């Protein structure tokens, strides 16, 4: 069983360009990686002796809301710039170790490489992150909305500056 620091050092040696830093959070240390190489890092984490991260426990999107906030006349907020993030919680069932990865991607064009080819369970998780935050997962085999209706064109509901539409298919949406 390896600590997060040890795992970070192994990854840093293998991917000096794409493994950026180890965030020391009060809850758990998080390894920050670049979105364009996350699939390669994940393949390495899965297939390397001593790491063997065979399970993606959860993949979640986060709106960091760290851009420029602009308050509109009606009191609603628009956010320009900043980032959206994706968190990967991995577990090795055989070695009983865990690790958390994070990638950040620009809010205006959020693109992250898909890890569906590494763990099949990522398929629906990535579709959910796409549905809720609009993060595009490159090389995903079937990237479409999973919870909201397919014809939902009012944006991505879990973004901090999301505005609900007045009507959907003739039905009034607000209370």
Partner 1 sequence: MKSLLDQEFSDSNIVVTKAEDLLNWARLSSVWQLGFGLACCAIEMMATSASHYDFDRFGVIPRATPRQADAIIISGTVTLKMATRIKRLYEQMPDPKYIISMGSCSNSGGPYWQHGYSVLKGIDRVIPVDVYVPGCPPRPEALLEGLLKLQEKIRNESLVKKTA
Rank residues 26 and 149 by Cβ distance to partner 1 and give the closer one: 149
102/22 Cα distance (integer angstroms): 10
Q: Tell me which residues in 145-174 interact with partner 1 (CB under 8 A).
A: 147-149, 157, 162, 164, 168-169, 171-174
For partner 1 (CB under 8 A), the number of binding residues is 13
Cα four-point dihedral sign 140, 89, 34, 1: negative
Q: How far is the CB of 78 from partner 1 (least distance, A)?
A: 17
- DSSP summary character for residue 160: T
Rank residues 102 and 127 by Cβ distance to partner 1 and give the closer one: 127
For residues 154 and 138, is the Cβ–Cβ distance under 8 A? no
Binding string to partner 1 for residues 104 to 143, with x set by CB under 8 A, is what?
A: ----------------------------------------
Region of 28 (left: φ > 0; alpha: ψ -120 to 50; beta: rest) is: beta
Q: How far is the CB of 148 from partner 1 (least distance, A)?
A: 6
Rank residues 44 and 162 by Cβ distance to partner 1 and give the closer one: 162
Which ranges constitute the DSSP H helices of the chain? 4-14, 38-47, 122-133
For 137, the 3-state DSSP assignment is strand
Binding site for partner 1 (CB under 8 A): 147-149, 157, 162, 164, 168-169, 171-175
């Amino acid at each position: 069983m390896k600590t997060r620091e040890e795992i970070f050092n192994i990854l840093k040696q293998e991917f000096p360009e794409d493994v950026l830093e180890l965030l020391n959070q009060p809850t758990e240390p998080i390894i920050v990686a670049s979105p364009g190489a996350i699939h390669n890092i994940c393949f390495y984490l899965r297939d390397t002796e001593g790491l063997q991260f065979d399970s993606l426990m959860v993949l979640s999107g986060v709106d960091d809301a760290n851009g420029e906030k602009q308050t509109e006349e009606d009191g609603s907020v628009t956010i320009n710039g900043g980032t959206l993030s994706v968190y990967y919680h991995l577990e090795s069932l055989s070695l009983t170790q865990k690790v958390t990865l994070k990638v950040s991607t620009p809010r205006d064009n959020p693109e992250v490489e898909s890890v569906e080819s590494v763990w099949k369970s990522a398929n629906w998780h990535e579709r959910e992150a796409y549905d809720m935050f609009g993060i595009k997962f490159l090389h995903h085999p079937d990237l479409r909305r999973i919870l909201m209706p397919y014809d939902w064109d009012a944006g991505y509901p879990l973004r901090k500056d999301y505005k609900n539409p007045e009507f959907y298919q003739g039905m009034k949406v607000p209370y």
